[in-house]
A and B are shown apart, each in its own frame.
Chain A
Amino acid sequence: MNEQLLRDLLHDTADRPVPTMFDDDSAVDAVIAARRVQRRNRARALVAAACVAVVALVVPFVWPDGRSTTPDRETAGGSPAFDWPPRGSLADDPATVDAVLALPALSHGATALTEARVAFVGDVPGVARFALVIGQDRSGADAGQWLAGPVGAAPAALEPDRGPEPLADARSVSHVSGDGTTLLVVAAPGDTVEVSGGVLVETDGSVRRDYTPVETVDGVAVTTLEPSTEYGSSTIYRVLQDGETVDSRSAPVPGFQLSAVDPPLLVPLDPLSEPPAPEAVEIATGVVVAQVGLPLDRLRLDLVYSGPLFGPTAEPVDAVVLAVTLPNGAVVVSTAWSDIAESGAGTAGTCGMQSHPAGTPLDQLSVAAVCTPVETAPERALMTYAARSATAFEVEDSDGHVVSGGSPGGIATVWPAPARAILRVVTPEAEIVEQAVVDAVPDQIVDLAGRGVDD
């Protein structure tokens, strides 16, 4: 085989059509939405409602009468959604339902569905007319497609609002209005919905989420949303059946809300620091903002340290230790790394977040975290930054062995990271302070004992 033959083979292979979930527009929408929520993505924390208000008056208009909770057709797919009856103020109008199912967008292109049926169609007064159609997408997977238009719009005028979303075993399907103000959740009849606006960090450093019940009629809930932060919304809703949580999801974020913000320009407090990598600062900032749901102008940011995080073999990555002081004085320490070339290519990630009680002096902040700087790490790394004011520190693994320690100064690393370690810091007063090692679970703030909102 010569080079020309290899070229021909590669072109023949690559020119095969690539089946995609998204068309170009949907791909952009997904990028924009992902950017918005990327710092809070996988976590499924729960509860709280400070930023969510129930639109109690809206619900009766959307669901003017009680409806049967009996499924009206045989299950078309494996998703529980196929067992749901159609709901919404227009669900009893066969002409409307037929017109929705006849929309060309559901027959062609990326939004096409087979075995389609209407799960919801109705108006949210003052907001929009929505329809949710479920079926199988081009890959044969169960999927839901939202359509939207102005209140009172002819069904034929409804247009796809973002691409189809996989249903899999989802127990709820949700949508946020185009202006980002209203969340619509469709769940099984009889289920109830609660919403949490963000993680609450108390003055003692403990963390939790509070949930507020949303009026749910026939398994459908509508709530208003507070504006999302520069780094996305921290709103999570959960679905309860007989009092037990059966589903918990981040509220979807419409694309327009994403705004790529420049990372704050911060000067490191630790004189041993090197100039910070903007991408690492941005990650460290964004993960906290996206969790607590507060805008940047209500937070105080202090860059405690920035410098190299060394790997076992490769070049170091840039790491930062950021202190985010909340309005109540509690402090969240956020660590992050980045490995960005001058060209702009590269990767970055979080090493987790840990909360401290209000009033903790910044020069007394220490952190030990386990994370994976993927470009350099064959294994997860334990990174430790000891407070400038400390006289010594040590990290002890679960067998009681000291795996790291010494005098403060930069970031100490251990590869691979030990399991269930604990950080001890010796203060100038010869006091020994213990704190949990942070396991960099994305989107989770833990307290000094290692407890998160679900613990």
Chain B
Amino acid sequence: MAIEDDAGFREFVARQRRALLRTAYLLTGDHGHAEDLVQTALLKTYAHWGRVSAGGDPTAYVRRVLVTTATSWRRRLLTTEQVMDAVPDQPHHDHYPERSAAVIQALRGLPPRMRAVVVLRYYEDRSEAVTAELLGCSVGTVKTQASRAMARLRTALADEASTRTAEDLR
């Protein structure tokens, strides 16, 4: 790969990596896995960087790889998942760390592809069509998965008083 391509890749990483890490954190529920996942996605992207960067914005490509890789890591994560550390090690304005931990736990209770639907639809605000394209499934599947995920998250988070709002309690 040419040096100028490396520079372009480096610039791309500097621009996108933080956002990728956030998405990866929701997809994996673990900081270490999130960084591993992003590194893997970046590695796959880098392997085809010439083609990817020539085709326009590489962001869509790396996100596809991120999601595909995350959903294919199911077996690995099942055997290595650990309870996440609820205490961040950097200054942070999270006023509800317990709530965040509960959200992560609830997400991790979902099957990987269902979890990916939640993250893409409700965190990244992707349309159903784009989510379906990213996951390689039909829009109908996305609708079904999203509906089931909402039901399961509602149940999983119901016991978390910190997640309740006045609206929920009405």
Residue of A7, A9, A15, A38 most packed against chain B (CB within 10 A): A9
**Across the interface, do B167 and A2 meet the contact criterion of CB distance under 8 Å?**
yes
**Across the interface, do A344 and B64 meet the contact criterion of CB distance under 8 Å?**
yes
Minimum CB–CB distance for B135 against chain A, Å: 10
Q: Which residue of B has the minimal Cβ distance to A8?
A: B165
Complex Cα distance, B65 from A60, in Å, reads 49
A20 close to chain B: CB less than 8 A: yes
Complex Cα distance, B25 from A11, in Å, reads 11
**Across the interface, do B150 and A139 meet the contact criterion of CB distance under 8 Å?**
no
Complex Cα distance, B83 from A259, in Å, reads 38
Minimum CB–CB distance for B155 against chain A, Å: 10
Complex Cα distance, B160 from A13, in Å, reads 15
The residues of A that contact B103 with a CB separation of less than 8 Å are: 9-10, 12-13
The residues of B that contact A76 with a CB separation of less than 8 Å are: none
**Across the interface, do B150 and A6 meet the contact criterion of CB distance under 8 Å?**
yes
The residues of B that contact A256 with a CB separation of less than 8 Å are: 3, 6
The residues of B that contact A10 with a CB separation of less than 8 Å are: 26, 103, 118-119, 122-123
Contact flags (1/0) for A194-210 with B, using CB distance below 8 Å? 00000000000000000
Contact flags (1/0) for B95-111 with A, using CB distance below 8 Å? 01101100110000000
Minimum CB–CB distance for A384 against chain B, Å: 24
**Across the interface, do B35 and A14 meet the contact criterion of CB distance under 8 Å?**
no
The residues of B that contact A344 with a CB separation of less than 8 Å are: 48, 51-52, 61, 64-65
Contact flags (1/0) for A1-45 with B, using CB distance below 8 Å? 111011101111111111111101101101110110010000000
The residues of B that contact A258 with a CB separation of less than 8 Å are: 1
**Across the interface, do A18 and B61 meet the contact criterion of CB distance under 8 Å?**
no
Contact-residue size bin, chain A (C-beta under 8 Å from the other chain):
35 or more
**Across the interface, do A13 and B52 meet the contact criterion of CB distance under 8 Å?**
no
Q: Which residue of B has the minimal Cβ distance to A19?
A: B89
**Across the interface, do A1 and B100 meet the contact criterion of CB distance under 8 Å?**
no
Complex Cα distance, B38 from A22, in Å, reads 11
Complex Cα distance, B10 from A30, in Å, reads 11
Complex Cα distance, B18 from A60, in Å, reads 46
**In the complex where A259-B1, A345-B61 touch, is A13 in contact with B26 (Cβ < 8 A)?**
yes
Minimum CB–CB distance for B94 against chain A, Å: 5
Complex Cα distance, B93 from A13, in Å, reads 11
Task: Give residues in B with beta carbon < 8 Å to A.
Answer: 1, 3, 6, 9-10, 13-14, 17-18, 21-23, 25-26, 31, 34-35, 38-39, 42-44, 46-52, 60-61, 64-65, 67-69, 72, 75, 88-92, 94, 96-97, 99-100, 103-104, 118-119, 122-123, 125, 133, 136, 150, 153-154, 157, 163, 165, 167-168
In the complex, besides A10-B26, A24-B17, 5 extra interface pairs with C-beta distance below 8 angstroms are A5-B165, A10-B103, A27-B13, A32-B6, A345-B64
